[in-house]
Amino acid sequence: MHAPKLTFREFEDGNNKQDDWQAAIFDADHSHQCPVYVHRTPPCQGSCPSGEDIRGWLQIVRGIEKPPAGLTMQEYAFRRATDANPFPAMMGRVCPAPCEDGCNRNNVEDFVGINAVEQYIGDQAYAEKFNYEPAPPASGKRVAIVGGGPAGLAAAYQLRRRGHAATIFEQHEQLGGMMRYGIPGYRTPRELLQHEIQRILDLGDIEVRTGMKVGADITLAEMETEYDAILWAIGCQSGRPLPVPGGDAPNCVSGVKFLQAFNEGSLKVAAEKVVCVGGGDTSIDVVSVARRLGKIESANVRNRPEEMIGGFVAHDAAVAAVRRGAEVTLTSLFGKSEMTASEHEVEDALREGVRIHDGVMPVAVVQREDGRARALKMARCEVDEKGVPRPIEGTEYEIECDLIVSAIGQGGDLTGLEELDDGRGLIAADKFYQLLEKPGHFVAGDIIRPHLLTTAIGQASIAAGSIDLYLRGGELRKRPKVDVHHFNLLQKLNESGLAPEEYDHGQKWGTSSANFAVHNYEDRSAQEIIPSDELFLAHFQYTARNKRKKIGPTERDVLGHFQERQVGLTEEEVVAEAGRCMSCGMCFECDNCVIYCPQDAVFRVKKDSSTTGRYVDTDYSKCIGCHICADVCPTGYIDMGMGE
């Protein structure tokens, strides 16, 4: 069997001129430019809303970057990954992975399975009970964090690492937010979620007050008096109703409330015919849960799903024992390939027996005499350039149903906190995530604008940095263009016992051989993301992605199937997958520059002085400026930037 054809080509259309290597080698020294080693941010990291050092922990897993003494590869990768995001086991499972869309490896054959490696890191941390390094002594400042979801928990974590104590106010009985109440447990296994939450709390000086609704159980004025700063991370836990006639029927419910009732355990069966309007990840969760819950044959109105979703009653175990398969339909404005839900989630739903009507919009809820919905009237639609759908006349049809779930968006609940409302049911913030004209108040997560879990976590990290400066009386500075958690060469040198020597601040010549300076290195990671056309893609051979195995149910066995749907990679598989990373913007020790340098000017640093980012060096007395080292560098780490 032949390997699939590589998608990479040496020449683009219209460009088929071969470089003149003889001229490059023998005539290029007039450029008077020699190599400089330049660190840039890879697009995976630039695409990650949490700003994780993805390339860094991939390099650790594959064995390029060595852990310090006393740490295993797994624990070192865990430390690097959780510097930005304390939920690797959760994100490795449910994040839609914009990092994989941005991966430069897509220009060779297929992206690196970043999510799969992150899941491995998180699962190993759980299995081996890794903990964080001890937090610094408390600063004496305490921050109120309103909301115990991903944003609030990530903020508590980042603040405690900076020395500040926190009190988390959560209106539910347990922490976790959307990870617990908005996503089914077969996607976010509860024992892993609880472990990742507890690991944060174990840092100490993080008080938790559950069952507390700020604005009702405690006033804003009381919080301002008691705490040194306040972070609003309340999320968006109210769903939007269907904006069509009859959309307020009692058996029309929001996707947020449907999933919350299921995750709290009150909803154990759905209905005979369920229709969900959406097309995003929440709608996929709704229809997948509905297929698993099934229906029951009962005339008891108290068993109707809207009663459970409204929180009036709860199904008992005996009800669940007699459930049968339900007919579940998902409708979407866009085609299947254009739905905002992850492609593999859509495929899973189809395999589980969900019917998908795409390119359609609801126009009315058809009601019975008692006011309950009996059908959803749909029409084919066109979406204009502003994203506004228009029904196509004459294409109307009905979908019979007993339950309609609206998963078309979420909003915030600012009852009792109206002074924070920006007029849209959200909270406005500046680029530092502080509230406008309200010193000491900060915000992160969906209450700014509903988006991904990883977005909320990234915002919380930035907000924690802003709060830290505020508490210390510092000035909020301009944020970097590429605002992520960067690899730090100086930190790596210190970690490796290679810290630069003391500098007497006198005038020096020939610093390339001095040990008080890091020479011929430039860090542009805060300004630049490296594109694929700055890499030597021809270096990379076709290597198939190591994919996680799926054990998801089919249409025939989905009923009552609440086990996890995919199996994580083995250590051997995850090391191989991490090895597919092209290390964009950072040396990965391939030796191309050493091998191809015609003047032997590029050389490996001695082993006792070598570390990540300092693997090769240049003897400038030999360099003729031929730029072959830069041409053959697969990662784009070498620029011809020293000289005129």
Q: Using an 8 Å Cβ cutoff, are 189 and 126 in contact?
A: no
Position 25 confidence tier, pLDDT thresholds 50, 70, 90:
low
SS3 content of the chain, % helix, strand, coil (to 5): 30, 15, 50
Per-residue pLDDT at 642 exceeds 80: no
What type of residue sits at position 66?
K
- pLDDT of 372 above 80: yes
pLDDT (tens digit per residue) in 389-436: 999 999 999 999 999 999 998 888 899 999 999 989 999 999 999 998
Confidence of residue 13 (pLDDT cuts 50, 70, 90): low
pLDDT tens digits for range 291-323: 999 987 655 556 677 777 766 655 655 555 556
Quote the percentage of the chain above a pLDDT of 70. Answer: 91
More confident residue, 33 or 555: 555
- Angle at CA of residue 578, ends 576 and 582, nearest 5°: 115
Measured between alpha carbons, how far is 94 from 349 in angstroms, rounded to an integer? Answer: 15
Question: In whole angstroms, what is the distance from residue 515 CA to residue 545 CA?
Answer: 42
404: tokens are 């309609």
Residue 146 near residue 445 (C-beta atoms within 8 A): no
- Spatial CA neighbour of 268 closest among 303, 315, 312: 315
pLDDT of 21 above 80 = no
Position 73 scores a pLDDT of 98
**Are 406 and 398 within 8 A, CB to CB?**
no
Distance of alpha carbon 342 from alpha carbon 340, whole angstroms:
6
Residue 1's pLDDT is 42
Q: What is the mean pLDDT of residues 503-509?
A: 80
Indicate the pairing of strand 142-146 with strand 229-232: parallel
DSSP conformation class of 392: P
- Asked if the model's pLDDT at residue 2 lies above 70, the reply is no
Residue 303's pLDDT is 65
According to DSSP, the residues that pair with 366 across neighbouring strands are 375
Q: In this predicted model, what pLDDT tens digit does every residue of 171-206 receive, in sequence order?
A: 999 999 999 999 999 999 999 999 999 999 999 999
CA distance 464 to 450: 19
DSSP SS3 for 398: strand
Q: Look at 552 and 36; give whichever has higher pLDDT.
A: 36
Q: Are 308 and 271 in contact (CB under 8 A)?
A: no
- How high is the pLDDT of residue 19? 63
pLDDT above 60: residue 258: yes
CATH architecture of 142-237+412-471: 3-Layer(bba) Sandwich (3.50)
Judge whether residue 518 has pLDDT over 50: yes
Range 31-58 average pLDDT:
93
Q: What is the pLDDT of residue 641?
A: 80
| Predicted TM-score of the model (pTM) | 0.92
Specify the fold of 240-411: FAD/NAD(P)-binding domain (3.50.50)
pLDDT in tens, 88-112: 999 999 999 999 999 999 999 999 9
Tell whether the model's pLDDT for residue 437 goes beyond 80.
Answer: yes
pLDDT at 644: 61
Domain positions in the chain: 21-129+487-643, 142-237+412-471, 240-411
Q: What is the pLDDT of residues 69-89, one digit of tens each?
A: 999 999 999 999 999 999 999
Given the structure tokens 């044959």, which residue do they identify?
Answer: 297
Write down the pLDDT at residue 7.
57
